[in-house]
């Protein structure tokens, strides 16, 4: 990977997001006050236990660029829910419920950790290359430092700047409404059974909204996993056919866009277009060395049937991703960040190939592949 691979992928009223390989950088155009950055670090510390336990996209590092600007580094996840709806309209009801359950779960977990999102909208509900929905941009420190009103702002926030758990519930209502109807509140028809919940979330009076995000999680769980229908005994001799379980289609709804634009670790050649001049300014400050990072060494995978233990040797300071490829399937990217090992869940009996990539933000190196169960891995 070269510095030119970081290109602008999104621009908001305050910051610009740059993407490259499997990293994203949210760059603020001004010097951020030290007290604000201290508050950001406290929010990060409170959210860190959720990294592997809730559908949240956390900031990996807060970087100070050589010119003094502040950048937040995180895993690259695209598209957003707003992008997805713009491209294809409302989601199927079952997908919208699945998405809403994930978003509500993320918000509930953050609230239990003492962190308010403060700006929940369809633009910060993002999709991992696997298709999983994640919520990004948690925390109010930067929002209070750079206040911006947008169409998803809760009425009380627009009135007096209030940012609390109830304003997050309003944002959750906006997310659900767009996913279900493809339209902003006041437009489009909500499915029966969900209309009351979404209407309550969008109440102008915070006291009329559900009491907590956990309440929303439980309500959506009931829609997502309805109780089984009791079957009456049958006198027919032939067995009664039972339909196969309905697949979760959210990942497939997103898959075409994700493979085309976000799984850059699998297809890095997709990002070699000439970047705008703004990107060159950012990426030249990120380059830390002109020499390739230390080569990666991936150890022999340890196969345990339902999971494989991987370990590797890499230079300090490199961000690492693992490419997991089942025989006959597409690679999946698992970001290991700066860990030297990873446990990967696999299907029993299926051959797999593994490859490790690492970057220092300017250059990328890749290990030779290793396989298990007789997998034939390309060079």
CATH code: domain of residue 104:
1.10.510.10
Return d(Cα 25, Cα 292) in angstroms, integer.
21
Q: What is the pLDDT of residues 203-235, one digit of tens each?
A: 999 999 999 999 999 999 998 776 665 555 444
Please tell me whether residues 120 and 218 are part of one structural domain.
yes
Where among 224, 248, 275 does a domain terminate? 224
267 occurs within a structural domain: no
Please tell me whether residues 56 and 132 are part of one structural domain.
yes
Please tell me whether residues 189 and 45 are part of one structural domain.
yes
Q: What is the pLDDT of residues 111-136, one digit of tens each?
A: 999 999 999 999 999 998 778 899 99
In the chain, what percentage of residues exceed pLDDT 70? 79
Where among 224, 250, 278 does a domain terminate? 224
313 occurs within a structural domain: yes
Please tell me whether residues 309 and 209 are part of one structural domain.
no
Q: What is the CA radius of gyration of the chain?
A: 22
67 occurs within a structural domain: yes
Compute the mean pLDDT over every residue in the chain, rounded to the nearest whole number.
81
pTM equals 0.68
Where among 183, 201, 224 does a domain terminate? 224
Structural domain including 50 reads 3-224
| pLDDT score of 232 | 52
What the block records as the tokens of 377 is 């891995």
314 occurs within a structural domain: yes
| pLDDT score of 332 | 86
Q: 239 and 137 in contact (C-beta within 8 Å)? A: no
- Number of separate domains in the chain: 2
- The separation between CA 343 and the C-alpha centre of its own chain, rounded to angstroms, equals 20
Please tell me whether residues 196 and 311 are part of one structural domain.
no
Please tell me whether residues 204 and 312 are part of one structural domain.
no
265 occurs within a structural domain: no
Cis link prior to 358 (omega < 30° from 0)? no
Q: What is the pLDDT of residues 267-289, one digit of tens each?
A: 332 222 333 333 333 332 333 33
Please tell me whether residues 181 and 302 are part of one structural domain.
no
Query: Which candidate, 178, 180, 171, 172, places its Cα nearest to that of 96?
Result: 180
Please tell me whether residues 212 and 301 are part of one structural domain.
no
CATH number, domain at 350? 2.60.40.10
Task: Please tell me which residue, 203 or 329, carries the higher pLDDT value.
Answer: 203
| pLDDT score of 170 | 97
pLDDT at residue 99 greater than cutoff 70: yes
Task: Please tell me which residue, 294 or 168, carries the higher pLDDT value.
Answer: 168
Strand-pair partners of 125: 135
pLDDT at residue 266 greater than cutoff 80: no
236 occurs within a structural domain: no
Please tell me whether residues 72 and 220 are part of one structural domain.
yes
pLDDT at residue 243 greater than cutoff 50: no
Q: 19 and 1 in contact (C-beta within 8 Å)? A: no
Please tell me whether residues 183 and 322 are part of one structural domain.
no
159 occurs within a structural domain: yes
Buried b (16+ CB within 10 A) or exposed e, 321-345: bbbbbeeeeebbbbbbeeeeebebe
Task: Please tell me which residue, 240 or 303, carries the higher pLDDT value.
Answer: 303
Percent composition of the chain: helix, strand, coil (DSSP 3-state, to 5): 35, 20, 45
Residue where the block lists tokens 């336990």:
53
Lowest-confidence region among 86-90, 95-99, 264-268, 298-302:
264-268
Please tell me whether residues 309 and 215 are part of one structural domain.
no
Please tell me whether residues 183 and 65 are part of one structural domain.
yes
114 occurs within a structural domain: yes
């Amino acid at each position: 990977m070269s510095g030119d691979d970081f290109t602008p992928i999104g621009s908001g009223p305050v910051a610009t997001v740059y993407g490259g390989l499997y990293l994203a950088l949210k760059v603020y155009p001004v010097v951020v006050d030290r007290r604000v950055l201290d508050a950001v670090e406290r929010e990060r510390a409170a959210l860190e236990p959720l990294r592997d336990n809730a559908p949240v996209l956390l900031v990996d590092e807060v970087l100070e660029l050589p010119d003094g600007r502040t950048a937040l580094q995180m895993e690259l996840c695209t598209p957003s829910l707003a992008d997805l709806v713009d491209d294809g309209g409302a989601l199927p009801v079952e997908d919208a419920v699945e998405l809403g359950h994930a978003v509500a779960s993320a918000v509930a977990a953050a609230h239990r950790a003492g962190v308010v999102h403060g700006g929940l909208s369809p633009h910060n509900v993002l999709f991992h290359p696997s298709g999983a929905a994640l919520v990004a941009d948690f925390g109010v420190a930067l929002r209070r430092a750079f206040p911006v009103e947008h169409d998803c702002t809760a009425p009380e926030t627009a009135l007096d700047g209030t940012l609390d758990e109830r304003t997050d519930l309003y944002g959750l209502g906006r997310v659900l409404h767009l996913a279900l109807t493809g339209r902003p509140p006041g437009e489009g028809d909500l499915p029966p059974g969900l209309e009351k919940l979404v209407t309550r979330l969008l109440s102008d009076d915070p006291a009329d909204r559900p009491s907590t995000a956990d309440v929303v999680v439980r309500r959506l769980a009931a829609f997502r996993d309805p109780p089984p229908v009791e079957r009456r005994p049958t006198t027919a001799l032939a067995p009664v056919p039972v339909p196969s379980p309905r697949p979760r289609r959210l990942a497939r709804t997103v898959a075409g866009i994700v493979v085309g634009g976000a799984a850059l670790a699998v297809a890095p050649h997709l990002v070699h277009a000439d970047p705008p001049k703004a990107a060159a300014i950012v990426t030249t400050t990120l380059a830390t060395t002109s020499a390739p990072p230390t080569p990666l060494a991936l150890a022999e995978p340890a196969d345990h049937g339902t999971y494989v233990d991987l370990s590797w040797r890499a230079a300090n300071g490199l961000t690492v991703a693992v490419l997991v490829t089942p025989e006959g399937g597409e690679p999946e990217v698992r970001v290991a960040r700066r860990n030297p090992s990873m446990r990967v869940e696999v299907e029993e009996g299926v051959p797999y190939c593994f490859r490790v990539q690492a970057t220092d933000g300017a250059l990328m190196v890749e290990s030779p592949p290793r396989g298990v169960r007789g997998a034939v891995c390309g060079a």
